[in-house]
């Protein structure tokens, strides 16, 4: 079985998958963290690999940027390949002045400016939240490894560039910690299918202090969130 976006066959992908936005980060994770990784996808250069971590099967695959992209890949992984645990490992921009570069967020919930949830025809505004099982386990893993994490709400935005200058202040006034572009859609797809999802995010830049990391640093140095995610398999 394959899809227009994934050449894997049924059984090639593990029930637990890590989902970085950048396919090169997927390759980095496979080569540096997984034992005996085998590539299962290269369609559109959206690289995917399956290997083992501490003897347990784990997959990793890029999702691209934005909710439409992760919406496609996560839907196919769930409905065509039987994935049960989808863990986004991505970067985010800090809205909180209490966050610094490389700080890690466990996204308990995701706000959005997207209409992604409209497809579910709900008579109200859907609150997209992480799966408690994965969230609880991730916090336990972080504590056991002495990795500092912040648990809270993030914004999944449809726009990266915007003329609105006060967005960070407006969202942070509601204790929204950071902005990214995928978690809301992932949480919606997982909830609709009855599977588990969690976004683990590393601060790559700050909308408050204007500090930022380089693309190479984002690809290769965001390892602590990967260590947490892999322990969830």
Q: Does domain 16-230 have CATH number 3.20.20.70?
A: no
Q: Residue 220 has what pLDDT? A: 81
Give pLDDT tens digits for 154-189.
999 999 999 988 999 999 999 999 999 999 999 999
Give pLDDT tens digits for 31-63.
999 999 999 999 999 999 999 999 999 999 999
Percent of the chain with pLDDT over 90: 95
Query: For 82-102, what is the mean pLDDT?
Result: 97
Find all residues with CB under 8 Å of 53, minimum gap 6, and list them.
Answer: 33, 34, 35, 230, 233
Give catalytic residues, as residue numbers.
205
- pTM of the model as a whole: 0.97
Q: Where are the domains of the chain?
A: 16-230
Q: Residue 221 has what pLDDT? A: 84
Look at residue 114 and tell me whether its pLDDT is greater than 80: yes
Partnered with residue 87 across adjacent β-strands are: 18, 198
Distance separating alpha carbons of residues 192 and 127, to the nearest angstrom = 13
H or E element: which one contains 107? strand 104-112
Q: Residue 148 has what pLDDT? A: 97
């Amino acid at each position: 079985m394959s899809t227009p976006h994934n050449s894997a066959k049924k059984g090639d992908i593990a029930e637990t998958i890590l989902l970085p936005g950048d396919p090169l980060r997927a390759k980095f994770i496979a080569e540096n963290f997984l034992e005996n990784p085998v590539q299962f996808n290269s369609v559109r250069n959206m690289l995917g690999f399956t290997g083992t971590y501490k003897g347990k099967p784990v997959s990793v695959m890029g999702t691209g940027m934005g909710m439409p992209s992760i919406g496609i890949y996560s839907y196919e992984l769930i409905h065509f390949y039987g994935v049960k645990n989808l863990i986004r490992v991505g970067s985010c921009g800090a809205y909180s002045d209490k966050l610094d570069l490389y700080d890690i967020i466990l996204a308990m919930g995701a706000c959005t400016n997207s209409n992604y949830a409209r497809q579910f025809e709900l008579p109200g505004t859907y609150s997209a939240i992480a799966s408690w099982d994965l969230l609880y386990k991730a916090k336990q893993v972080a504590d056991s490894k002495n990795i500092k994490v912040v648990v809270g709400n993030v914004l999944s935005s449809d726009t990266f560039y915007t003329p609105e200058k006060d967005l960070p202040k407006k969202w942070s006034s509601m204790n929204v910690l950071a902005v990214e572009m995928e978690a809301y859609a992932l949480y919606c797809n997982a909830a609709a299918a009855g599977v588990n999802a969690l976004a683990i995010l590393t601060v790559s830049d700050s909308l408050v202090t204007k500090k930022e990391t380089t693309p190479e640093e984002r690809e290769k140095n965001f390892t602590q969130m990967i260590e947490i995610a892999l322990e969830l398999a």
